Amino acid sequence: MNSALPSSVAALLEQQQGDRVLMVDDVPDNLSLLHDALDEHGYTVLAATSGEAALTRALQGQPDIVLLDAMMPGMDGFEVARRLKANPATAHIPIIFMTGLTETEHLVAALQAGGVDYVTKPLDPRAVLARMQVHLQGARQARQTRQALDAFGYASIAVRASSGRLLWQTPLARELLQLYYGTIAPATPAPVLSWLRRCLDTMADAEREGQPPVEPVRLTAELGARRLSFRLHHCIGGEDGPGPGGDWLIVMREVSDAAVIRSLGLSFNLTAREAEVLYWVVKGKINRDIGEILGASPATVKKHLERIHAKLGVETRTAAAAMALTRVREMHPQWEL
């Protein structure tokens, strides 16, 4: 039997498994200096001495934070940051720039490229560790939240409303979007993006009219007896800060009506296929549609429906649907038609 780990042990495992630091600097001495300090504090250290190597290491190693030299030959740190942020697989990783450039325009460029902070050279390992801790805490919480959502059957994505770009997604979200829409990041499915922008327009109209905020309507996609719902959660920032064109967190959840179908079968002594037919009758589908869904002819569906009518003691599909709907709502109060 599994038992909960003591909090101190769980915290240690979390750090060992989660706190991976990617250091990027073309000067090996700088890497050596920081490597020793980070290793002493229990971090797993990845290293790269070029921009190209940094992109590869980040994608493969999935670090929790990146310490990035701003000025490197070839691909500089600004371009590395832009590419990391453009890739949904690495866009969530916080980047701290390491720079000897202290002019305002260089620091602004670092932040615009996707950095969350910067430290100046010559590097003070204690200062670097302190800045890392600030951003690692937020990154760790975000990672745990995404993992928890997936574990409980929820999935989440972040979409930039202004460009329609899918910034990041949890593993479960990736599977669901491919299954329902056949899309992969950074593309946001067109129906999802249209729904998001409609929600934001509605919210903006309500704010202009001084009306209290209301929860945006949810989007639903169906795949057979499976249903995927989308809920707009909140704005998590953006290039120009929070706002209608910003980055929005969307939480998804898939619900399978297999349990509802089983309940119909048990309640009315139906075969598995008869229960499926009755389920789709309740959903308002005609025989031709039901046949296409189940891979059967309309004539076969009609025969199943005749047997359903006999078992329920009704004469019409409307009466059968009403009786089945009443029973489903008794047994599954949260079920939505």
Give the pLDDT confidence of 122-154 residue by residue, as tens digits.
888 888 999 898 888 777 766 766 666 665 557
Q: What is the Cα–Cα distance from 41 to 35, expressed in whole angstroms?
A: 10
pLDDT of residue 241: 55
State the CB neighbour count (10 A cutoff) for residue 252.
Answer: 24
What CATH number belongs to 153-256?
Answer: 3.30.450
Considering 38-42, 64-68, 139-143, 144-148, the range whose residues carry the highest mean pLDDT is 64-68
pLDDT of residue 17: 47
pLDDT of residue 325: 93
pLDDT of residue 236: 79
pLDDT of residue 331: 79
Q: What is the Cα–Cα distance from 238 to 50, expressed in whole angstroms?
A: 28
Query: Where residue 301 falls among pLDDT bands split at 50, 70, 90?
Result: very high
Say yes or no to pLDDT of 98 above 70.
Answer: yes
Are 55 and 82 in contact by the 8 Å Cβ rule? The answer is no
Query: Where residue 30 falls among pLDDT bands split at 50, 70, 90?
Result: confident
Query: Where residue 14 falls among pLDDT bands split at 50, 70, 90?
Result: very low
Over the stretch 187-207, which tens digit does the pLDDT of each residue have? 999 999 999 999 999 988 888
User: How much of the chain, in percent, has pLDDT values that exceed 70?
Assistant: 88
The residues spanned by each domain of the chain are 7-146, 153-256, 258-331
pLDDT of residue 212: 84
Mean pLDDT, residues 49-55? 93
Specify the fold of 7-146.
Rossmann fold (3.40.50)
Fold match between domain 7-146 and domain 153-256 = no
Mean pLDDT, residues 72-82? 92
Question: Which residue intervals of the chain are DSSP H helices?
Answer: 7-18, 28-40, 51-61, 77-86, 104-112, 125-151, 171-181, 190-208, 258-268, 272-282, 287-294, 298-312, 317-331
> Coil, strand or helix: which one is 46?
strand
**Phi, psi (rounded to 5 degrees) for 99:** -145, 145
pLDDT of residue 11: 44
**Phi, psi (rounded to 5 degrees) for 328:** -60, -40
Mean of the per-residue pLDDT values for the chain? 84
pLDDT of residue 256: 72
What six digits make up the tokens of 55?
Answer: 């992109």
Considering 41-50, 90-99, 316-325, the range whose residues carry the highest mean pLDDT is 316-325
pLDDT of residue 164: 92
Among 7-16, 103-112, 221-230, 255-264, where is mean pLDDT lowest?
A: 7-16
pLDDT of residue 145: 66
pLDDT of residue 29: 81
DSSP 73: S
Mean pLDDT, residues 98-106? 77
DSSP β-bridge partners for residue 118: 97
Query: Where residue 221 falls among pLDDT bands split at 50, 70, 90?
Result: very high
pLDDT of residue 146: 65
pLDDT of residue 303: 95
Q: What is the Cα–Cα distance from 166 to 185, expressed in whole angstroms?
A: 6
Mean pLDDT, residues 209-224? 86
Q: What is the Cα–Cα distance from 179 to 225, expressed in whole angstroms?
A: 14
Q: For domain 258-331, say whether CATH 1.10.10.10 is its number.
A: yes
Identify the residue whose tokens are 């498994």: 17
Buried b (16+ CB within 10 A) or exposed e, 239-251: eeeeebbbbbbbb
Are 67 and 34 in contact by the 8 Å Cβ rule? The answer is yes
Say yes or no to pLDDT of 46 above 80.
Answer: yes
pLDDT of residue 80: 95
Over the stretch 302-325, which tens digit does the pLDDT of each residue have? 999 999 999 999 999 999 999 999
Contacts of 142 (CB under 8 A, 6+ apart): 92
DSSP 41: T
pLDDT of residue 7: 45
Identify the residue whose tokens are 């780990």: 5
Higher per-residue pLDDT: 4 or 220? 220
